[in-house]
Each structure stands twice: as structure tokens, then as C-alpha cells.
Amino acid sequence: MTAGEITRGPEAHVWTDAWLRGGFPDAVKGDFRTWWESFLRTYVERDLPALGVAADPVFMRRLLTMLAHAQGGICNASSLGAALGVSHHTIQRHLDVLERTFLVRRLQPYFRNVGKRLVKSPKVYLRDTGLLHHLLNLATLDDVANHPVKGASWETFVIEEIIRREKSARPHTQFYFWRTSARAEVDLVLDRGSARIAVEIKCGHGGRPESVRQLQTAITDLGASSAWIIDEAEDSDPLGPKIRRRGFASDLGWLPA
């Protein structure tokens, strides 16, 4: 479910429950830690074998936990393999399985011929923040706020919300991130074919001048029609030509234009 969906109906919740607990109905309305533990056990012991995938439960748990600690980072299969004592090919095969079964998103970089050195590896996310928080032993939003993963968790939550809404409205939109070797970055690029939109996601209030400067560069390099900063603050305000800031909670059905 999306954040907007859990705020409606006879068993409505506040939207932040979707961020903490994830998007599965039973996780939202009950003890999400117990639910996710049961989900993981069923996923490894029953679902994967049913798909013809033999997965060692201990190895899979260790891999998922390492991905949680590196949430939203550039994928480095060699480093993961070295830490887990397997080859990078083994890591890639497991990531393929996790991606096909919707637990992991590998967000690919966007390329345009702009004469810049761009990052070419994907970013890796556990798609559901409830799973992320469970693996990191974070039971409350206060736990999340006091943990180094908070920024990556918020980024993941907003990215997945926007992608779900966008896919419902425009099924053929493609999604990327953009980063140069000088570390100028945009968290999410929506490529609608006829237009591209840049989205940067920030904790707290996101209207800092350096963020605006990065988006100004991104608009030029991406050929974007607009750019947005989505943050935890309220309301919306302009920050520059084609650039606006918007609080996530101001409209739980909103899509960038």
C-alpha cells in the first residue's frame, strides 16, 4: 500500500506508519517486526525453493542485512562477495533473485552525452522500509531518527512512493538516478519519454543553496523540464527557475510535473 492508502478506510493509520512498518497491510496493522520475521522465513524456506532457487537461509539473511547497512549505496558486488566469502558472480545471482521477487531495487544511472564522467553502477535499495528497519533492529521512528540509516530510509520511502504513484498514472515511465564523478547527484530521474523530471530527496528542510545549485546543473545535463526537492517540511515554495521544494506530507497523492 502507499502512504495515502493507509490513511483511508475503517482501519486508517497515520502515513508515517507506512514509512516505519512498510507497505504490507498485515505489517502496518500489527507487530511489524514479528510479521517481517515470519515473511523472511517463509520467503527463504518456501517461496524461493518453489521458484527453483536453492538459498541458504543464513547466507541470505547475512546478504540482506549487509544490503540494509549499505542502503541506497552504489552496488559493489565484489566487496559484498569478499565480506561473505563468495564470488561477485554469486552476489549478482542472488541480487537478480531478490530483484525479480521485488525485495530489492537496482536503480540504474541515467546517461546523456554531456561530456562528463558519470557513475555507471546501479544503486541498490531494499524496496520496503519495513524490511529495512526490521533487519537493522529499528522498532520505532525514534530509533530510525537516531540511526545513521535515517537519510537512506527516507530516500527509499519517498522513491518507492513516487514510483508506485507514477506507475499507476504512466505505466511506461522509466526511473534512474544521476551522479557525476564530482558527486553532483539527483536521487531520482523520471523519464517520461517526452520529458524528464529530477527529484532530490532530503531529510528535514531541503532548501539549502548547494542542493539548488546541484539541481540547476542537473536540469541542464539531463535536459529536465523541472526539478523538485521533496523533504519532511511543510507546504511548497519556489527555489529557482524550474526548481521547487515540496513537503512530502502536503499531498499524499502528488506527482511531480
Strand partners, 82: none
Q: What is the pTM of this model?
A: 0.94
Per-residue pLDDT of the chain (257 residues; tens, 9 = 90+): 999 999 998 889 999 999 999 999 999 999 999 999 999 999 998 998 888 888 888 999 999 999 999 999 999 999 999 999 999 999 999 999 999 999 999 999 998 765 566 678 899 999 999 999 999 999 999 999 999 999 999 999 999 999 999 999 999 999 999 988 777 889 999 999 989 999 999 999 988 898 999 999 999 989 999 999 999 998 999 999 999 999 999 999 999 99
Helix ranges restricted to H, 122-208 = 129-135, 141-145, 150-169
Give CA 238 to chain center in angstroms. 25
What is residue 193's predicted lDDT score, i.e. its pLDDT? 92
Cβ(107)–Cβ(123) under 8 Å?
A: yes
Q: Which CATH class is domain 3-250?
A: mainly alpha
Q: How many CB atoms lie within 10 A of CB 204?
A: 11
* 228/13 Cα distance (integer angstroms): 27
Residue located via cell numbers 546543473: 217
Helix ranges restricted to H, 146-194 = 150-169
* 109/52 Cα distance (integer angstroms): 31
Cβ(121)–Cβ(109) under 8 Å?
A: yes
What is residue 114's predicted lDDT score, i.e. its pLDDT? 55
